Amino acid sequence: MKFQLKNLALAIMTTIALTSCSNDDDNAPISGEGSLKLEFDNVYGDADLIFGTEYTNSNGEKVKPNNAIYIVSNIVLTKEDGTTYTVPKSESYFFVNEADAASTIITLPNIPAANYTSVKFGIGVDQEQFNAGADGQGDMWTTAQGLGMTWSWAAGYKFMKFEGTTTTTSHTDAVYRVHTGKTGDVYNYAEVTLNMPEKALVRTNVTPQVHIMADFKKVIDGTTKINFEEGLDVMGGTKVQNIMANNVPTMFEIHHVHND
Amino acid sequence: MKKYLSYLLVLVFFSIHATEKDSLSLFKKYDFSNRVGIFEEEEDCDACGCSASGGSMGFASMLTTNFIGIRYFNQSYKSTDGLYSNSPWYDENFNTIQVWGRIPIVKNVQATVLLPYHFHNRESNNGKQNISGIGDITLLGMYQIVQTKSDSLFFKHTLQLGGGVKMPTGKFDETNNGSVNPSYQVGTGSWDYLLATEYIIRRKNWGLNNMVNYVIKTENDKSYRFGNQFNYASTLFYLVEKNHFSYAPQLGIAGELYEDNYQRGQKVRGTAGDIFLGKLGIEIGKNNFSFGANYMIPIQQNLTGGNVEANYRWSLNLNYML
């Protein structure tokens, strides 16, 4: 009887265990094109960035942001086999504006179906594009002007704008303005490469959404720290160079990838 | 999964050997006279909202072996997207009305059927959301391996072993699983398989019901696979019979362990989890009817990477004894 019972139990379990194995490997070759979305989620430290909310920096200064815009450009996606897909340059400039929710999700069409493991992009407008001159800008200069993301043509685009009010030792709710871009002959274009914590599986019927955290605390309170007490406007010189070289490249991080 | 299967096997065999050592007879005759006092098997099964759901909550009639009835249960959760330190928490309410029954098929074999209808709601940043519909139907066969009969024995034992299938009759909505709680669904969309065992030990009016089950989940046609689920429960009950009434208060513990969910063969981070609950219940029987009420409260939990928290669960049922 004991023997029989064992067999019975074993039979039931092995049957279920074996028949329930699902085939996770889809061996059909991946082909065609799909889309991929990059979602830029602006945060301040580990908190959601909400305009009008006061945040405190490591130097004790408080900021209440009310404007945050940056240019994302020259997107390159790396597949799991190490090869890359470069979004055509003429279609690879985006203004991410915290005040405009639709602008924070960038949809990239015509992406070859593949498993992608990292994404590279720039913040600002690269020198090559700027050198294309006024005629080479298409609508972009006008769009940038509309968002207050330009100086004079000679000074070029603002790469990132971060504004609000600040309370420091001698200021209370004073307007601060951080505008980055090229400083004289120094171009200050920043590049960022982010590894994906899970692969983005682009398929004809799957549009992965890559959720990127963009931490504005790092812009002014990162490796390089900005003291608004020293000046409420940060629009040039070594401060801007340091922000673009040290702070901006570290402010982005991929939180997760949805493959729906 | 291997670990849990082995655990299940060990538990089953241990129980079999233990009862054999006590030289109790196996394959006891089905005993209709023993209507009172057989604690129903814990009905396992995804209460659904699927993974973070009432896998261990099912309790059935302890007053009868075979019945058909209706059960309502409510599960209260709260969840957050976990993106920010200041992310809001939203309430989620999972409601289920279930027709359930346990019907004798042949000697020592019973079929359990669960036909759920779900209506869930939750808060979100853009208002209140609702989903409702028929859930996944479960069919489970339980085979009674051991049942001691004689009243002269110090302990009476019942051991049952079974397996079953959960069918994708409930709708799985892909757009829900990009959201916080991947279990906010009325169905898994998948064929899932169940292994269940139940061991009851009784002495006089006291009884202890122990249940273990394992749910093997497969990939649905949206290429999403919920993590396999291991459920366990242990319930102490005391049977009182007065005039035409019988009632049985009960006290117990229950737990659920969830493995990671997979989407298109890729692990969905932070979907594994576990919960350990305490439970309190009572069942009252009169004539052919029994009424049950049950309340469960989490003692320890870590669901969906801490982004989902169970508040409590409760259920009411009305059964007709066959």
pLDDT for res A27: 55
pLDDT for res B288: 86
Which residues of chain B neighbour A1 with C-beta distances below 8 Å? 26-27
User: How many domains, chain A?
Assistant: 1
Q: Kindly report which listed range (A235-239, B31-35, B289-293) carries the lowest average pLDDT score.
A: B31-35
Residue A11 lies in a domain: no
Secondary structure class of B121 (helix, strand, coil): strand
pLDDT for res A150: 96
Name the pTM for this structure. Answer: 0.81
Residue A192 lies in a domain: yes
Overall average pLDDT of the A144-155 stretch: 94
Which residues of chain B neighbour A10 with C-beta distances below 8 Å? 9
Domains, chain B, in order of start with CATH, read 2-321 (2.40.128.130)
Tell if the CB–CB gap between B265 and A25 is shorter than 8 Å: yes
Which of residues B222 and B52 earns the better pLDDT score? B222
pLDDT for res A260: 84
H helix intervals, B177-308: none
pLDDT for res B62: 56
Which of residues B107 and A219 earns the better pLDDT score? A219
A216 close to A243: Cβ distance less than 8 angstroms: no
Overall average pLDDT of the B36-58 stretch: 36
pLDDT band at B4 (very low <50, low <70, confident <90, very high): very low
pLDDT at A8 over 90: no
Six-digit token pair at B99? 């027709």
Query: How far is the alpha carbon of A7 from chain B, nearest alpha carbon, in Å?
Result: 11
pLDDT at B12 over 80: no
Overall average pLDDT of the B204-215 stretch: 91
Among residues 181-240 of chain A, which lie with CB inside 8 Å of chain B?
Answer: 197-199, 201, 206, 209, 211, 213
Tell if the CB–CB gap between A16 and B5 is shorter than 8 Å: no
A2 part of contact set with chain B, CB < 8 Å: yes
Residue B86: which of A5, A48, A259 has the nearest Cβ? A48
Overall average pLDDT of the B279-299 stretch: 91
| DSSP characters over A124-158 | S--HHHHHTTGGGGTTHHHHHHHTT-B--TTT-BE
Overall average pLDDT of the B103-122 stretch: 90
B127 part of contact set with chain A, CB < 8 Å: no
pLDDT for res B151: 62
Q: What burial class does residue A183 get, using C-beta atoms within 10 Å of its C-beta: 0-12 exposed, 13-18 middle, 19+ buried?
A: middle
Overall average pLDDT of the B112-122 stretch: 91
pLDDT for res A134: 87
Tell if the CB–CB gap between A46 and B84 is shorter than 8 Å: yes
Query: How far is the alpha carbon of A20 from chain B, nearest alpha carbon, in Å?
Result: 7
pLDDT band at A105 (very low <50, low <70, confident <90, very high): very high
Using CA atoms, how far apart are residues A159 and A147, in angstroms rounded to an integer?
Answer: 11
pLDDT for res A11: 55
Out of A22-26, A80-84, B62-66, give the one with best mean pLDDT.
Answer: A80-84
For residue B224, give every residue at least 6 positions away whose Cβ sits within 8 Å of its Cβ, in sequence order, or none.
B172, B174, B177, B189, B190, B261, B262, B263, B264
pLDDT for res A49: 97
B43 close to B58: Cβ distance less than 8 angstroms: yes
Percent of residues in chain B assigned helix, strand, coil, to nearest 5: 10, 55, 35
A173 part of contact set with chain B, CB < 8 Å: no
Please choose, from the candidates B228, B163, B215, the residue with its C-alpha nearest in 3D space to the C-alpha of residue A9.
Answer: B163
Residue A20: which of B17, B161, B218 has the nearest Cβ? B218
pLDDT at B141 over 70: yes
pLDDT for res B188: 87
pLDDT band at A167 (very low <50, low <70, confident <90, very high): very high
Query: Which amino acid makes up residue B313?
Result: R
pLDDT band at B64 (very low <50, low <70, confident <90, very high): low
Residue A9 has a CB neighbour count (10 Å cut-off) of: 20
The rounded percent of chain B whose pLDDT value lies above 70 is 78
Residue A8 lies in a domain: no
Using CA atoms, how far apart are residues A118 and A253, in angstroms rounded to an integer?
Answer: 11
pLDDT at B37 over 90: no
Which residues of chain A neighbour B304 with C-beta distances below 8 Å? none
| CA B15 to mean position of chain CA atoms | 21
pLDDT band at B174 (very low <50, low <70, confident <90, very high): confident
For residue B3, give every residue at least 6 positions away whose Cβ sits within 8 Å of its Cβ, in sequence order, or none.
none
Which of residues B87 and B57 earns the better pLDDT score? B87
pLDDT for res B127: 84
Residue A142 lies in a domain: yes
The rounded percent of chain A whose pLDDT value lies above 90 is 86
pLDDT for res B32: 28
B263 part of contact set with chain A, CB < 8 Å: yes
Residue A26 lies in a domain: no
Which of residues A11 and A38 earns the better pLDDT score? A38
Mean pLDDT of all residues belonging to chain B: 79
Structural domain harbouring A165: 35-258
The four Cα atoms A69, A70, A76, A78 give a dihedral, to 10 degrees, of: -70
pLDDT band at B150 (very low <50, low <70, confident <90, very high): low
pLDDT for res B11: 38
Which of residues A253 and A2 earns the better pLDDT score? A253
Residue A22 lies in a domain: no
Which residues of chain B neighbour A197 with C-beta distances below 8 Å? 269
Buried b (16+ CB within 10 A) or exposed e, B242-268: eeeebbbebebbbbbbbbbbbbbbbeb
Q: How far is CA B126 from CA A174, B42, B121, B129, in A?
A: 34, 38, 13, 9
Overall average pLDDT of the B233-256 stretch: 90
Please choose, from the candidates B294, B202, B285, the residue with its C-alpha nearest in 3D space to the C-alpha of residue B246.
Answer: B285
pLDDT band at B204 (very low <50, low <70, confident <90, very high): confident
Span A22-60, pLDDT tens digits:
444 455 678 999 999 999 999 999 999 999 999 999 999
The rounded percent of chain A whose pLDDT value lies above 70 is 89
Which residues of chain A neighbour B161 with C-beta distances below 8 Å? 8-9, 12
Which residues of chain B neighbour A40 with C-beta distances below 8 Å? none
pLDDT at A129 over 60: yes
Span B81-97, pLDDT tens digits:
889 998 999 999 999 99
Six-digit token pair at A166? 């600040």
pLDDT for res B305: 86
Question: A-B interface: how many C-beta pairs under 8 angstroms?
Answer: 84
Query: How far is the alpha carbon of B32 from chain A, nearest alpha carbon, in Å?
Result: 24
Span B301-314, pLDDT tens digits:
999 888 999 999 99
Tell if the CB–CB gap between A45 and B85 is shorter than 8 Å: yes
Residue B20: which of A2, A17, A45 has the nearest Cβ? A2
Which residues of chain B neighbour A201 with C-beta distances below 8 Å? 264, 266
pLDDT for res A6: 53
pLDDT band at A149 (very low <50, low <70, confident <90, very high): very high
Which residues of chain B neighbour A213 with C-beta distances below 8 Å? 83
pLDDT for res B6: 42
Residue A209 lies in a domain: yes
Using CA atoms, how far apart are residues A38 and A41, in angstroms rounded to an integer?
Answer: 10
Residue A185 lies in a domain: yes
pLDDT for res A53: 97
Using CA atoms, how far apart are residues A202 and A191, in angstroms rounded to an integer?
Answer: 23
Which residues of chain B neighbour A47 with C-beta distances below 8 Å? 84-86
Among residues 169-188 of chain B, which lie with CB inside 8 Å of chain A?
Answer: 174-175, 177-178
pLDDT band at A3 (very low <50, low <70, confident <90, very high): very low
Place of tokens 């799985």: B172
The rounded percent of chain B whose pLDDT value lies above 90 is 46
B159 part of contact set with chain A, CB < 8 Å: no
pLDDT band at A146 (very low <50, low <70, confident <90, very high): very high
Overall average pLDDT of the B53-64 stretch: 47
pLDDT for res B35: 31
